[in-house]
Amino acid sequence: MDSAVLTVVPDDGSASNTFDELIFKRDLNEVHLLLDFISGRPGSHISDIGDIKFPDRSSANGAVLTTHQVIERICELRYPPPTAQSMQDKEDNAALLLYVKDRLNTIAFPACGLTVAYTYVFLEETGDSKRQSALPVHSQTRAQIAKTAYPGLVVSAKRFRRFHKSVAWAGAAITLLAALLLWLVAYGVQLTSRFEDDQRSAADVTAQIYAQVDKENAAIPAAQQSHDSVPVRCHAGQVDKQSNQIRLLCNQWSYFQARYDKSISDVATFADHSPSRWLMTPFPASPGLKEKVEGEYVARQENIQSITLVLSAYASYVLPVMFGVVGTIASFLRDVSNRITGSILAPHDETVAIMRLILGAIAGLAVGLFFTPASVSAQVSSGAGVLTLSASAIAFLAGYGADGFFRMIDMMITRVFSLDRADKSPPAR
């Protein structure tokens, strides 16, 4: 504590200069920062200093300084102090500074002189050298006063400011990349979902046509029965030869079959063209998703399951990790913003921020571990892109509230691996 330095002061010139610099330079600047901070808060006033019961040495009846006199005395203090000032006056001013500093820190809680100074240095602009040179010689900014009060915080505050800006830009880039991946994966999930639906619809109509054909064949002799396949019966040149019921079913079959072929082609196009083709790059898959038949490229439906597995890998692991990091960065930026608003930013927040970013990425990855690729693939292929969104949303929440997520893990470990429960029955003898 600074007051401990004041207990023994040798009576020489260098010690006196150290004493003056410690009290009248550092503490005076800190008190001025606190006065400026408190006067700008809507819920507090500098008049809240109240009666600090500091004796008025100019009064012979033992009176104490009023609030106005205390603030007036503080405003009159300058560094360096006048050379003709006696040691008793210096001690009196030093004691008054300590009284006022203690009271102002109480009023400013949860902020204090250190956090106010650190916040001012953190917010100082880096490219203001020309503007600083244009200011009058005796003018000072709040950041300069903060540096004078706490010179040891300058390096940490500037490093934290650079780290904050780097994280903000990295967060913007990761958010854009995550949004692009989420858009591509969600669109791919919808395509594979439509493929499954159209395949099921075409198969249902085909089964109805064959059932109707079997019903009609049963009513005629075997020599007159027709066993043509559905594509042959529903061809433009053959559909007029069919019964009314089959012609109606052929119209439905043609529609669902066209949708089915289109969905196969769309999924293959999704996998073969940029930017969605980039999704397939990290995963080993067959290079050709289309085959050349009679001079044209025809999509191959047997590749769709492989595409679905790739999408499930993104839904299970890649997107949760990315959105876990996004949630952590959002929580970090919001926390720093709140601390700046309350002027409670402190040097230890830099170390805490690094740990929170790492924990957020781990939380996002851990969310992906709760979903097996098989289960995700099954739900995706059945037509639920919601799983991708839900897994990413859970990972975002886990990254944003990493502390709560790991508290949940601690509770889970207690429940799963607890071997000393009170209700455990003793072994039989």
Spans of the chain, pLDDT less than 50: 1-13, 127, 129-130, 133, 135, 137-138, 287, 295, 373-389
State residue 380's pLDDT score.
40
Joined together, the tokens standing for residue 281 give 């790059």
pLDDT of residue 294: 55
Structure tokens at 9: 């002061």
Instruction: State the DSSP code for 296.
Output: E
Sequence-distant (6+) residues with CB within 8 A of 224 are: none
For residue range 135-145, list pLDDT tens digits in order. 454 456 777 77
Please tell me the distance from the alpha carbon of residue 151 to that of residue 203, in angstroms, as a whole number.
78
Q: Are 226 and 217 in contact (CB under 8 A)?
A: yes
Instruction: Pick the closest to residue 332 from 171, 224, 111 (CA basis).
Output: 171
pLDDT in tens, 309-322: 888 888 877 888 88
Which of 309, 314, 307, 230 is closest to 270 using CA atoms? 307
Instruction: Identify the three-state secondary structure at position 293.
Output: strand
pLDDT digits (tens, 9 = 90+) for 361-388: 788 778 767 655 444 444 444 344 443 4
What pLDDT score does 7 carry? 36
Query: pLDDT tens digits for 109-121?
Result: 888 888 888 888 8
Q: Look at the block and give the residue holding tokens 């089915």.
A: 260
Neighbours of 61 (CB within 10 A): 5
Angle, in degrees to the nearest 10, between helices 87-108 and 13-20: 30
Where helices occur in 109-243 by DSSP H, the ranges are: 113-123, 129-134, 142-149, 154-217, 230-233
